[in-house]
Amino acid sequence: MAVYTDVAADELAEFLSQYDLGELLSYKGIAEGVENSNFLLHTSAGSFILTLYEKRVARGDLPFFLALMTHLASKGVNCPLPVKGRDGEALRELAGRPAAIINFLEGIWPRKPNVTQCAGVGQALAKMHLAGLNFAMSRANALSVSGWRPLFEAAAARADEVQPGLRVFLSDELDYLESGVWPKHLPEGVIHADLFPDNVFFLGDRLSGLIDFTFACNDMLAYDVAICLNAWCFEPDHAFNVTKARAFLNAYGRERRLSEAEQDTLPLLARGAAIRFLLTRLVDWLNVPPGALVKPKDPLEYVRKLRFHQSVNSVRDYGLSTSGLVV
Amino acid sequence: MAVYTDVAADELAEFLSQYDLGELLSYKGIAEGVENSNFLLHTSAGSFILTLYEKRVARGDLPFFLALMTHLASKGVNCPLPVKGRDGEALRELAGRPAAIINFLEGIWPRKPNVTQCAGVGQALAKMHLAGLNFAMSRANALSVSGWRPLFEAAAARADEVQPGLRVFLSDELDYLESGVWPKHLPEGVIHADLFPDNVFFLGDRLSGLIDFTFACNDMLAYDVAICLNAWCFEPDHAFNVTKARAFLNAYGRERRLSEAEQDTLPLLARGAAIRFLLTRLVDWLNVPPGALVKPKDPLEYVRKLRFHQSVNSVRDYGLSTSGLVV
């Protein structure tokens, strides 16, 4: 939630001269996205988002993200479409940073998602998974099981400052997840990997867009489902809402049926997703730079979510009640 | 440069139901304004700014600011027009804070103002002063000469942490400005009192709007001129740019002639304006709350500006060369 880099009007005007976007009418730094600097542009051609990619995003990954959005948009997924300059390129440089313009999607992210919206995101996620199956590029998931131990080691010494006992709790969980249980043969494809409510826009209850593909990568499709269970199906008091989970999973399953193996593994994948966000939040929490414009998110929310998933016996605890297959 | 308060979509929808602004399409917290939380709204009726007034703005002053913008806009000043709800009111409450919607002005604030833009702000300032002359309400300037000593006292003990000798420098200057030299009989009216480049929008070199009237008050019109000399006529290295000052003063004078008394007093008013911004910045600098989303502005910029104004002998040092009257 920050603008890291300001852009001078003359720099921006020169940058925009490489596009067919008409006259620049205004630009405002917007308080969305913790990784990058984002500006909402009004030009005589419409509204656009200008993103300056800050250093947490690897420059070499940007062609993947931009090509993926272009691919998904061409398949009918409601996601931002990168705007190409007259040279055919969507990626160039501004204020010393890689920069790209995407079209602006109207819509509002739900601060308190309702059941209908949870179903909407389930449907959209499955459609995105299907649309991504024939995307030609690939990118490894740096934040899958092998990426968690280094995060833990960066935070372990001070973890108990955040909550007594947290270090051992995390260490035990990591030992378990690294013990060979993590699945290897589930269906894979392009996953969003960060489909939290602030990355999904709605107009009323109608989903109008999926945004922010800067964590997108290739991994098990069911892992994306597990991330969404964490991101969408808990209440502000961290209680699991089985009605939302059922709506989410059923809507997903209507578009893309989860295999029995995927369903059986879902509680484990949800534990992995919980520790992944717990660890990155913990590292951020312990490393807030002085004068930071970003308020770190509370890692302890994910301790509670992880404990819930540890207590789950089967996918039925997520709201699927009958045959074991989503219908 | 911060959003202090987030607003939930359902709260905002209920708020907007009191207006005839059509359907809400999107809203983004924007990184402008250090005093309040600002959101850019897109609705089916157009673009608007929603402001939530945070505690630094006195609630009792809000009717003055809103009525002033309405008055000035009706007189042809390019400033935001407050939007009234169906009940005729522009001011109501949202997320526990006073809140108002104004129309969105296209335009870009100049990060590096050029001479033409300095002339533009001079002309617009004079027109605003004339348009405000028959505004019925009034508001005292809490940050005029009598308001500076309390700021100094709040910062004095730690002033030398910022620059050795700063405490004595400020104390001596305040003693001088409080010694009876501050003018009492210059023409008064409504002044903007904070007309920095980030509060003035341009489309190219054409001024498209004056914004942020939350410091507006009744005071000497020439004091507003002195604030702009500080805000617009120094370079990033803090060198005074006499070409910009001449352009600014001449453009002002073509709309509203500065009296001889106003011209003679301008160097003194410029010293007052410099110490006013120096002191508020110093207090902010020394009182950054932990986890602040706002990066305070450097107070030392105004030490250099103040030293420059102390060295000025007459208004001719600001670029007026002949008769002593702006032509």
Side-chain half-sphere of A306: how many Cα atoms within 13 Å? 22
Query: Does residue B324 lie within any of the structural domains?
Result: no
Q: How confident is the model at residue A153 (pLDDT cuts 50, 70, 90)?
A: very high
Last residue of a domain, which of B54, B79, B103? B103
Contacts of A236 in chain B (CB under 8 A): none
pLDDT of residue B98: 95
Percentage of chain B surpassing pLDDT 70? 94
Q: At residue B170, does pLDDT exceed 60?
A: yes
What is the rounded (10 degree) CA torsion for B171, B172, B173, B177?
100
Predicted confidence band of residue A3 (pLDDT cuts 50, 70, 90) = low
CB-based contact A26 B110, cutoff 8 Å: no
CB A128 within 8 A of CB A192: yes
For residues A112 and A219, the model is more confident at: A219
Residues B199-216 have a mean pLDDT of 95
Q: Are residues B137 and B219 in the same domain?
A: yes
Q: Looking at the predicted structure, is the pLDDT value of residue B33 above 90?
A: no
Residue B297: inside a domain, yes or no? yes
Q: Helix, strand or coil for residue B101? A: strand
Residue A126 has pLDDT above 90, yes or no: yes
Are residues B96 and B161 located together in one domain of the fold? no
Torsion of CA B129, B132, B133, B134, to 10 degrees: 170
**3-state SS class at A210:** strand
Compute the nearest-CA separation of A16 from chain B (Å): 14
Residue of B nearest to A44 (CA): B106
Per-residue pLDDT at B225 exceeds 60: yes
- When CB atoms are compared, the residue of B42, B108, B291 closest to A295 is B291
- Give the burial class of A46: count Cβ atoms within 10 A of its Cβ; 0-12 exposed, 13-18 middle, 19 or more buried: exposed
What is the rounded distance in angstroms from the CA atom of residue A227 to the CA atom of residue A222? 9
Q: Which long-range contacts link A257-261 to residues 24+ away (Cβ below 8 Å)?
A: A257/A325, A257/A326, A258/A222, A258/A225, A258/A325, A258/A326, A259/A186, A259/A187, A260/A324, A260/A325, A261/A183, A261/A185, A261/A186
Dig out the tokens for A106 from the structure.
Answer: 């109207």
Interface size A-B, in CB pairs within 8 Å, comes to: 90
Query: Quick one: pLDDT at residue A288?
Result: 76
Cα nearest neighbour of B4 on chain A:
A31
Let me know if residue A2 belongs to a domain. Answer: no
- B326 domain-assigned: no
Of the candidates A54, A79, A103, which is a domain's last residue? A103
B32 vs A273 pLDDT, higher one = A273
Query: Region B312-316: what's the mean pLDDT?
Result: 91
Minimal CA separation from A70 to chain B, in Å: 22
- What is the rounded CA–CA span in Å between residue A265 and residue A197? 24
**Residue in A5, A25, A208 to test binding to B, most B beta-carbons within 10 Å:** A25
Contact residues, chain A, for B110 at CB < 8 Å: 9
DSSP A211: -
A54 close to B (CB below 8 A): no
Mean per-residue pLDDT for A63-73? 97
pLDDT range class, residue B327, cuts 50, 70, 90 = very low
Q: Are residues B183 and B266 in the same domain?
A: yes
Does residue B3 surpass a pLDDT of 60? Answer: no
In the prediction, which pLDDT does A324 show? 45
The two tokens of residue B264 are: 């003679």
B-facing residues of A in 110-169 (CB < 8 A) are 110-112
Residues B142 and B290 in one domain: yes
Which of A78, A108, A205 is the best mutation test for B, with the most CBs of B within 10 A? A108
Please tell me the predicted confidence (pLDDT) of residue B1: 39
Residue for token pair 């939302």: A244
Q: How confident is the model at residue A208 (pLDDT cuts 50, 70, 90)?
A: very high
H/E element holding B110?
Answer: none
Q: Is A44 a member of any domain? A: yes
Three-state SS letters, A144-186? CHHHHHHHHHHHHHHHHHHCCCHHHHHHHHHHHHHHHHCCCCC
Residue among B27, B30, B295 whose CB faces A291 most closely: B295
Contact B65, B211 (CB under 8 A): no
Residues B221 and B144 both lie in one domain? yes
> Nearest residue on chain B to A285, judged by CA atoms?
B291
Establish if B126 belongs to a structural domain.
yes
Asked if A28 lies within 8 A of B30 by C-beta distance, the reply is yes
Percent of chain B residues topping a pLDDT of 90? 83
Mean pLDDT, range B171-186, rounded to an integer: 96
Pair (A119, A97) in one structural domain:
no
Note whether B19 and B121 are same-domain residues: no
Answer yes or no: do A126 and A60 share one domain.
Answer: no
The structure's pTM equals: 0.85
- The string of DSSP letters for A3-28 reads ------HHHHHHHHTTS----EEEEE
Q: Using the predicted structure, report yes or no on whether residue A69 has a pLDDT greater than 80.
A: yes
User: What average pLDDT does the structure give for chain A?
Assistant: 92
Cβ within 8 Å, pair A42-B3: no
Alpha carbon dihedral B165, B169, B171, B177, in 10-degree steps, equals -170
A294 CB neighbour count, 10 Å cutoff: 15
Do B24 and B85 have their domain in common? yes
Q: What is the mean pLDDT of residues B73-94?
A: 96
A197 touches chain B (CB under 8 A): no
Question: CATH number for the domain including A133?
Answer: 3.90.1200.10
Are the CB atoms for A295 and A268 separated by under 8 Å? no
B179, exposed or middle or buried, with CB in 10 Å at 0-12, 13-18, 19+? Answer: exposed
The closest CB to that of B30, out of A30, A106, A107, belongs to A30
pLDDT tens-digit map of A39-57: 999 999 999 999 999 877 8
In a domain, B323, yes or no: no
Tell me what pLDDT residue A292 has: 55
Do A77 and A87 contact (CB within 8 A), yes or no? Answer: no
Q: What is the pLDDT of residues A178-205, one digit of tens each?
A: 999 999 999 999 999 999 999 999 998 9
Give chain B positions within 8 Å (CB) of A3: 1, 31
Query: Range of A284's domain?
Result: 115-318
pLDDT tens readout for residues A289-312 = 665 555 678 899 999 999 999 999
How many independent structural domains does chain A possess? 2
User: Chain B contact for A59, CB < 8 A?
Assistant: no
Nearest residue to A210 via CA among A297, A136, A107? A107
Closest CA relative to residue A283, chosen from A193, A151, A194: A151
Q: For the domain that residue B27 is a member of, what is the CATH number?
A: 3.30.200.20
One domain for residues A213 and A244: yes
Question: Is B107 in CB contact (< 8 Å) with chain A?
Answer: yes
**Portion 246-305 of B in contact with A at CB < 8 A:** 288, 291-293, 295
A104 vs B contacts (CB less than 8 Å) = 26
A327 CB near a chain B CB, below 8 Å?
Answer: no
User: What mean pLDDT comes out for the span B224-241?
Assistant: 96
Closest alpha carbon to B103 in B156, B147, B40, B56: B40
CA of B276, closest CA in chain A: separation in Å?
24
Cα distance between residue A257 and residue A269, in whole Å: 17
Torsion sign over Cα A276, A278, A284, A287: negative
Query: Last residue of some domain: A103, A130, A146?
Result: A103
Token couple for B197: 């480049």
CA dist B130 → A130, A267, B139 (Å): 64, 70, 17
- Give me the torsion for CA of A140, A68, A31, A8, rounded to 10°: 110
Residues of B in contact with A9 (CB under 8 A): 108-111
pLDDT for B322 beyond 80: no
Residue A21 lies in a domain: yes
Which residues in A lie closer than 8 A to residue B9 (C-beta atoms)?
Answer: 108-111
What b/e string do you get for B92-117 counting C-beta neighbours within 10 Å, with b at 16 or more?
Answer: eebeebbbbbbbbbbbbbbeebebbb
CB contact under 8 A, B111 and A30: no
Subunit contact B30:A25, Cβ cutoff 8 A? no
Least confident of A152-161, B179-188, B264-273, B292-301: B292-301
The strand pairing partners of B26, in sequence order, are: B42
Shared domain check, A302 and A238: yes
Task: Give percent of chain A above pLDDT 70.
Answer: 94
Q: Contacts of residue A295 in chain B, CB cutoff 8 Å?
A: 291, 293
Residues B231 and B312 in one domain: yes
Give the per-residue pLDDT at A1. Answer: 39
Residue A213 is which amino acid?
F
